[in-house]
Structure 1
Amino acid sequence: MRNIVNIILLTVFASLVMVGCSNDSKSKTGSKEEVAKKGGTVRIAMSTEVDNLDPYLSAATDTSSMMDNVFDGLLDTDESGQLIPALAKEYKISDDGLTYTFQLNEGVLFHDGSELTAEDVVYSYSKLAGLNGNEPHSSKFEIVETVEATSDYEVVVTLKERDSAFLARNIAAIVPQDYEEQSTEPIGTGPFKFKEYKVGQELILVKNEDYYQKDKMPKIDEVQFKIMPDQESSILAMQAGDIDVIPGVTAQGLNQLGDSVETVSGPQNMVQLMAMNHEVKPLNDVRVRQAINYAIDKDVIIETVAEGKGTKLGSNMSPAMALYYEEGLEDYYNPDVEKAKALLKEAGYEDGFTMELTVPSDYQFHVDTAQVIVEQLNQINIQTEIKQIEFSTWLEDVYNNRKYETTIVGFTGKLDPFEVLGRYVSDYHKNFMNFKNDQFDALIKQAIAETDEAEMATLYKEAQTILTEEAAAVFIMDPDRTIAMRENLEGFKMYPIQKFNLEDLLFKE
């Protein structure tokens, strides 16, 4: 069973290889003569505020990217998407696929000096799965039936039923037993320690001198994440020498920076979409949702908003996940204004209607996308008003409470196809689009229990087709991500999930 699962994972993750480490600005000269300089402080501009320092309470991708350096999981991922050892040096899976046994590294220290043991894993997974008598912190861990420490350095996890997606979930942070101050003074085992957080200003991490992975010991001393929602301010700060890294810089920003920076770029394995609340009229009518899809020209959005650097999508899967990606869906709704109008007439909305498009103001890319969509929907008499709100408010109103009509969002990359498509399962508690389809649910359930990779891929492809045919959302693109960094800084890598490998950064003299 273990061999079968490993083959599946290796095949899937090999298909996620990203276009990484490509220098788009200028190549270095004389780099062989440059000498690595240990130490120093790296300042990174972040466009969004921290939503919660506790890894089990945070929902924001940017926050997870920053705090991932404070916490380690049993497993980690490399830049190709393959799972690699972290706190667990090895694991085995039972023949029935229900029992996972992890052997932990010994001598691992939390940032408070206490040693990691199997009891910390039991505590962490019990919180995630709700085995401690409280509500689960993650619905993805509700599949866990028991977690047992069979020795100081061995943990046995038993699932309620077979779940092919579970292994990839073991990148989840492990926290120290009975410590409840993660939201204010987070403690993990990662390569960097938490130092300070100032709301709306900065998050500071410092090198963990006791990091257990000696080959991944950080080369820099400190990382300062500067909260800068306005990218123009970030550009000016980098030009002034006050910022070293801008993740997700725009093409216009790169033009402003000129030859003073190096870049790393590639696909993100992210799906940008316009989500529609299926419980709000008239969006509960599939014909209306299809009309909206026919009215929106994704190619125009890619050219104008992403400046051509994006891959057009037709369902909630990026071609970065090649094994599971269903080709051809990106052209299912070729722009057709007349067809869109006919569908609206059939649905009883010949004269159109008005609706609200809620957008997190912290993400200019989504705001720009919304502005293009407003103009395109105007062609079929759908008058759309953009409502900009802060991301923290978006999380509360849209993601948690489903109080919205339509919104623009980016679903970040995951390491397993279920983590991508499971968002649309009817009873998934974060299915904020309120998408419900019995056939889709059945396909996902079959895929989770499947161990044959070819059959699993077929099931996930069928599920994608349903999302497209039912116009679950307007699936727009997987935009390329470009990281701009100062000339003498190097080491950033691209991953199939948004991840900052701060331990690899170094300055060159």
Structure 2
Amino acid sequence: MKLRLGLAALVLLLTLAGSSSAFSAALNVAVSADPDTFDPTKTVAAATVEIAFNIYEGLVKAAPDGSLVGALATDWDVSPDQKTYTFTLRDAFFHNGAKVTAEDVVNALNRARDAEVSARWNDFALVEAVEGEGSTVVVRLSQPNAAFLYTLAEVNAAIYPKGAEGLAAKPIGTGPYKLAEWRPNQYVRLERFNEYWGEKAPYYDEVVFRIIPDEYSAVLNLLSGNVDLIPRMEASVYHQVANDSRIKVVAGPMNLVQILAINNQRPPFNDVRVRKALAMAVNREEIMFGAAWGFAQPLYSGLSPAMPAFFNGKLQEVNPYDPALARELLREAGVSNLKLTLTLPSDYPLHVQTGEIAAQQWEAIGIDVDIQLVEWGTWLEKVYAQRDYDVSIVGLAGRLDPHAILVRYTSGNSRNFFNFSSPEFDQLIEQGLVLQGSERVAVYHLAQEILAREVAGVFVMDPEQLAAMRGEIQGWEHYPIYVVDAARLYE
């Protein structure tokens, strides 16, 4: 196996500016990756959402149990035909002191659905019109959309002042914290927003998200007091804190789909037999214990078991672990001496370790694997945006509704970096928007089966989220989406 280092090596960060203790007004949080941009219309990275949850708000937002609660909207009404949503705005202020108006909401939502502006305009394609007057905002859809309210809880539907410029580096939201300073690849420092509309002010004056890509460095900083919280501690370093009475670890479902992404349009991976061979050579149990120390559930579906109402748990036998059959499939496809490049995001140790183990398993069936480590920004540009790769790996962050997760596999979706295409799948995803109850569940079950049968990628596992923190910190809640809700924390 050949190993190439990407643009930069991981850096050991032991001497971080500032520290905290039980007597400090600051909370220091270790995260593994820098935001890509704080412009809600441009961001595609979970690392941004994790922090931006504290800065921006939409009309509605997620609660820890996955339900929706009002944010900038106090309440809302849906018409009988499920095509008109009427929201009542609360009195709230932006971080620049301006009052939130219906005009701001109309502008932000119109920009979110503009294909010339927004990276995820597809999510708002059914929006026909957005109108506002006084404290009322009305959104009209071209057809019913069962997932629409959940879409409004995404960062891409965040509200910001009309005419605001430079949001990429200087976000202006309404959340409980405002951006004070951002030093790329070092830290993002937030300050409490004293004009926040919530009934209770956040406990911490400041929250500093420190960018520490290396999991061992993050733990050492936690043990030394330079960091107070690691929201997503790697399972491989759990043993370093397990017996430390100063530290507590809170485990919970992550609602994440780790996938070995395959470029479905690049030969020979455009042959489903080759993709199936890759899938059947992967031993998930070995990967789970080798990369996640057993803190995970195996996945054979594009949804996580953390979404039990829609999860299809009957797909284990579609691509079972069978290296002998994997070799036979390669022979049937006329592929011999297969060589592939496996691009791994160096900022995420779990994905790197998973990729390295998968590479060994593929080499066991005669595939020559060249591992390429790249920084997260390079991964986003090369793999996600340009789709220039053979095989890669990523964790697809959980969402509140299955549509937001599965729609990324539709043929024309801007987030379909797998280049997967299935007319039958596309049709099912469209149907899922207009159906309700058990009919909607059945459609999404079949959609998951198609992803497995056609091998859009190799679904590996849903790792547990291990939040490690100083024992004094209270209020931690696991969300089904990729966020850190700093306003809930206190001592």
After TM superposition, the score normalised by the length of structure 1 is 0.89
Judging changes above 3 Å, is the alpha-carbon distance between structure 1 residues 252 and 313 closer, same or farther for their aligned structure 2 residues?
closer
Q: C-alpha distance in 2, partners of 1:239/1:134?
A: 44
1:175 has 2:160 as partner: yes
Judging changes above 3 Å, is the alpha-carbon distance between structure 1 residues 312 and 88 closer, same or farther for their aligned structure 2 residues?
same
1:496 has 2:480 as partner: yes
Q: C-alpha distance in 2, partners of 1:195/1:179?
A: 17
- 1:381 deviation in Å? 0.8
User: Given residue 500 of structure 1, which amino acid in structure 2 is its aligned partner?
Assistant: V
Q: Please tell me whether the aligned partners of residues 25 and 204 of structure 2 are also in contact (alpha carbons under 8 angstroms).
A: yes
1:462 has 2:446 as partner: yes
Q: Please tell me whether the aligned partners of residues 264 and 483 of structure 1 are also in contact (alpha carbons under 8 angstroms).
A: yes
| Partner residue, 1:25 | none
Q: Please tell me whether the aligned partners of residues 269 and 497 of structure 1 are also in contact (alpha carbons under 8 angstroms).
A: yes
SS at match of 1:490: coil
- 1:275 deviation in Å? 0.6
| Partner residue, 1:56 | 41
Paired residues for 1:116-135 under 5 Å: 116-130=100-114
1:229 has 2:213 as partner: yes
- 1:330 deviation in Å? 2.9
Q: Structure 2 residue aligned with 1:287, among 259, 264, 273? A: 273
Q: C-alpha distance in 2, partners of 1:397/1:85?
A: 37
Q: Please tell me whether the aligned partners of residues 43 and 119 of structure 2 are also in contact (alpha carbons under 8 angstroms).
A: no
Q: C-alpha distance in 1, partners of 2:233/2:444?
A: 33
Q: C-alpha distance in 2, partners of 1:474/1:354?
A: 18
| Partner residue, 1:338 | 324
| Partner residue, 1:148 | 131
Judging changes above 3 Å, is the alpha-carbon distance between structure 1 residues 384 and 481 closer, same or farther for their aligned structure 2 residues?
same
SS at match of 1:49: coil
- 1:345 deviation in Å? 0.7
1:263 has 2:249 as partner: yes
Q: C-alpha distance in 2, partners of 1:130/1:474?
A: 33
Q: Please tell me whether the aligned partners of residues 45 and 246 of structure 1 are also in contact (alpha carbons under 8 angstroms).
A: yes
| Partner residue, 1:45 | 30
- 1:331 deviation in Å? 3.7
User: Given residue 312 of structure 1, which amino acid in structure 2 is its aligned partner?
Assistant: P
Judging changes above 3 Å, is the alpha-carbon distance between structure 1 residues 173 and 39 closer, same or farther for their aligned structure 2 residues?
farther
SS at match of 1:404: coil
| Partner residue, 2:302 | 316
| Partner residue, 1:247 | 231
Q: Please tell me whether the aligned partners of residues 128 and 137 of structure 1 are also in contact (alpha carbons under 8 angstroms).
A: yes
Q: How many residues align?
A: 465
Q: Please tell me whether the aligned partners of residues 129 and 136 of structure 1 are also in contact (alpha carbons under 8 angstroms).
A: no
Paired residues for 1:78-93 under 5 Å: 78-93=63-78
Q: Structure 2 residue aligned with 1:390, among 375, 384, 407? A: 375
Q: Please tell me whether the aligned partners of residues 48 and 228 of structure 1 are also in contact (alpha carbons under 8 angstroms).
A: yes
1:296 has 2:278 as partner: no
| Partner residue, 2:465 | 481
Q: C-alpha distance in 2, partners of 1:364/1:441?
A: 33
Q: C-alpha distance in 2, partners of 1:82/1:385?
A: 43
1:10-32 CA-partner distances (Å, limit 9, x unpaired): xxxxxxxxxxxxxxxxxxxxxxx
| Partner residue, 1:16 | none
Q: C-alpha distance in 2, partners of 1:420/1:38?
A: 42
Q: C-alpha distance in 2, partners of 1:362/1:431?
A: 22
User: Given residue 301 of structure 2, which amino acid in structure 1 is its aligned partner?
Assistant: S
Regions of 4+ moved over 4 Å: 133-137
User: Given residue 115 of structure 1, which amino acid in structure 2 is its aligned partner?
Assistant: K
Deviates more, 1:425-434 or 1:50-59: 50-59
Q: C-alpha distance in 2, partners of 1:424/1:185?
A: 32
1:434-464 CA-partner distances (Å, limit 9, x unpaired): 11111111111111121x2100000000111
Percent identity among equivalent residues?
37
After TM superposition, the score normalised by the length of structure 2 is 0.92
1:158 has 2:140 as partner: yes
Q: Structure 2 residue aligned with 1:97, among 64, 79, 82? A: 82
- 1:142 deviation in Å? 2.2
SS at match of 1:274: strand
| Partner residue, 2:264 | 278
- 1:471 deviation in Å? 1.3
Q: Please tell me whether the aligned partners of residues 344 and 352 of structure 1 are also in contact (alpha carbons under 8 angstroms).
A: no
- 1:166 deviation in Å? 0.8
SS at match of 2:350: helix
Q: Please tell me whether the aligned partners of residues 44 and 119 of structure 2 are also in contact (alpha carbons under 8 angstroms).
A: no
- 1:269 deviation in Å? 0.9
1:405-440 CA-partner distances (Å, limit 9, x unpaired): 110011110011111111111111221111111111
Q: Please tell me whether the aligned partners of residues 312 and 330 of structure 1 are also in contact (alpha carbons under 8 angstroms).
A: no
SS at match of 1:224: strand
Q: Structure 1 residue aligned with 2:384, among 388, 396, 399? A: 399
Q: C-alpha distance in 2, partners of 1:503/1:38?
A: 18
Q: C-alpha distance in 2, partners of 1:498/1:458?
A: 27
1:453-482 CA-partner distances (Å, limit 9, x unpaired): 100000000111111111111100111010
1:343-373 CA-partner distances (Å, limit 9, x unpaired): 1111002x33100011111011111001101
Q: C-alpha distance in 2, partners of 1:327/1:288?
A: 24
Judging changes above 3 Å, is the alpha-carbon distance between structure 1 residues 136 and 355 closer, same or farther for their aligned structure 2 residues?
closer
SS at match of 2:112: helix
1:233-284 CA-partner distances (Å, limit 9, x unpaired): 1111112111101121123423212322112211111100101001111100
- 1:184 deviation in Å? 2.4
Please, which runs of 5 or more residues in structure 2 have no aligned partner?
1-21
Q: C-alpha distance in 2, partners of 1:475/1:116?
A: 42
Please, which runs of 5 or more residues in structure 1 have no aligned partner?
1-36
Deviates more, 1:196-205 or 1:134-143: 134-143
CA RMSD of aligned residues (A): 1.5
Judging changes above 3 Å, is the alpha-carbon distance between structure 1 residues 205 and 96 closer, same or farther for their aligned structure 2 residues?
same
1:72 has 2:54 as partner: no
| Partner residue, 1:30 | none
